[in-house]
A and B are shown apart, each in its own frame.
Chain A
Amino acid sequence: MRKLIVGFTIWTLVGSAAFGQASFRVGMLPGVNINKKISGDWRLNLRMEGRLDLWKGTFSSPSDPDVRYDLTDMALVTSRKVGANNSLGAGYLIRFRGDEINHRFIQQFTIVTKYDAFRLAHRISTDQTFEPGEPWEFRLRYRAAADFGLNGREVDPGEFYLKFNNEYLGSIEGKEWDLEVRLVPVLGYAVNDDNKIEFGLDYRMDSFLAGPSHSTFWVALNWFVSF
């Protein structure tokens, strides 16, 4: 754990400080994730997420905090279990940002493996974003996520847990391409197997390949409920 924290700190500092003009953004990212088993191996996932900007600027000259509502995402993904512990999914996301509306098509494959003291999930996904007047954006994503019960070998009802996500997103839009890296350490509480709340940091860094990096520090608050 100590190595992870030290590594994360060094990575953040190097990523941010290597370029004098590296920019940052701080905000809140609350989301609700509703899952419904439709029939047999089919499931539906509805995700609603908002973004609230609190502060932005460059590390060398931060501006004053400026609270501003940024956007709302709504996504619907249907998935089918294709193995004992893996599933294929496809869906659509709509993004409302002021008067702009973006559309995104999503495809994903996930595999979740249970180890003695933790679970590890791999997710490979692709998406295509369409915005009127702009070229399409194509992304290829890989995410590893693990959760650990804080009192026992698995996350039981009434137990707190830690979850770590690490995701890599390659994107291309017109002739421009980029890589984004995300690190998301959160503390979760499992009310029961179908009802979990998570709170933590969602750190994202992009644009670091071709110039000053851009870092985003979201305060993430998520509710996962299934029925």
Chain B
Amino acid sequence: MNRGFALLLSLLFLSGGFAFGQTKYEREYRIREDAVPGPALEFVNALKLEGKVKWYMEEGLGQKSIEAKAKHRKKRYSIEFDLSGTLQDMEVEIRRDEVDEMALKHIDATFNKDFDRYKITKIQTQYSGESAALLRLAHSGGLEEGITKRYEIIVRGRKEGSTHFYEYTFTAQGDFLHRATIVLRNADNLEF
């Protein structure tokens, strides 16, 4: 057999050995409903979501959380809990025209200041507070005192010739709170 081919095969087998010895540092994976803490399951059941609920465990650097995802009335819901099942927040994907008009003006002003060109790719309303109040919000739509509402927005922004995706967080009034650059996963295996 040709030497080059033998070398290629050896490299591939070596890569396998090297590959399986590495450390895992961040991941997210599906979990079964029976592995979900009781309070989290009770909260999601009480929401009476229309679509099938999918549960995920998210493991970061020293942090773990549980997330429920489902579609309800044509909107994507994402509900995050800690490992004991205590509600952290509830996110609902919305359209641009569903953002409060005054808040949107402030948000657009921030983006105009930060970028030469931008495009909003995803908007989520994030609610946090007492789980009972969030349940009432989900059923009646009324925003009670004690519930914190924020906007989490993914935007593709171009500044000085460089384009990136960013995640912004704004208050309900559209005041800037936080920004993080989104690091896209390596896509070499799709590009080449």
Contact = CB atoms under 8 A, between A and B. Distances in A.
Interface of A: 30-33, 35, 41, 45, 47-50, 52, 69, 72, 77, 79, 81, 83-85, 87, 96, 110, 112, 114, 116, 119, 121, 123, 145-147, 151-159, 163, 188-189, 191-198, 221-226
B27 A156 contact: yes
Given A72-B4, A72-B5, A157 B24 contact: yes
A48 B191 CA distance: 15
11 contacts: A33-B189, A45-B192, A50-B9, A72-B5, A83-B163, A119-B190, A152-B30, A156-B29, A157-B25, A196-B189, A223-B11
A157 B27 contact: yes
B45 interface: no
B162 interface: yes
B24 A158 contact: yes
Contacts of B16: 197
A84 B165 contact: yes
A85 B184 contact: yes
Interface of B: 1-2, 4-5, 8-9, 11-12, 15-16, 18-20, 22, 24-30, 56, 76, 156, 162-165, 184-192
Given A123-B191, A225-B15, A69 B163 contact: no
Contact of B26 (A77, A145, A157): A157
Contacts of B76: 116
B12 A223 contact: yes
Contacts of A191: 18-20, 22
Is chain B's interface secondary structure helix, strand, loop, or mixed overall? Answer: mixed
Contacts of B8: 30-32, 48-50, 72
A45 B2 contact: no
B1 A69 contact: yes
Q: Which 10 A-B pairs have the closest CB atoms?
A: A156-B27, A121-B190, A69-B2, A191-B19, A50-B5, A223-B15, A84-B163, A158-B24, A112-B187, A224-B189
B36 to A, nearest CB: 16
B27 A114 contact: no
Nearest to B183: A193
Contacts of A35: 188, 192
A147 B190 contact: yes
A73 to B, nearest CB: 10
Contacts of A147: 189-190
Nearest to A122: B190
A192 B25 contact: yes
B179 to A, nearest CB: 15
A191 B22 CA distance: 7
Contacts of A198: 189
Given A32-B8, A69-B2, A195-B19, A163 B189 contact: yes
Contacts of B165: 84-85
B12 A152 contact: no
Given A47-B192, A151-B29, A41 B162 contact: yes
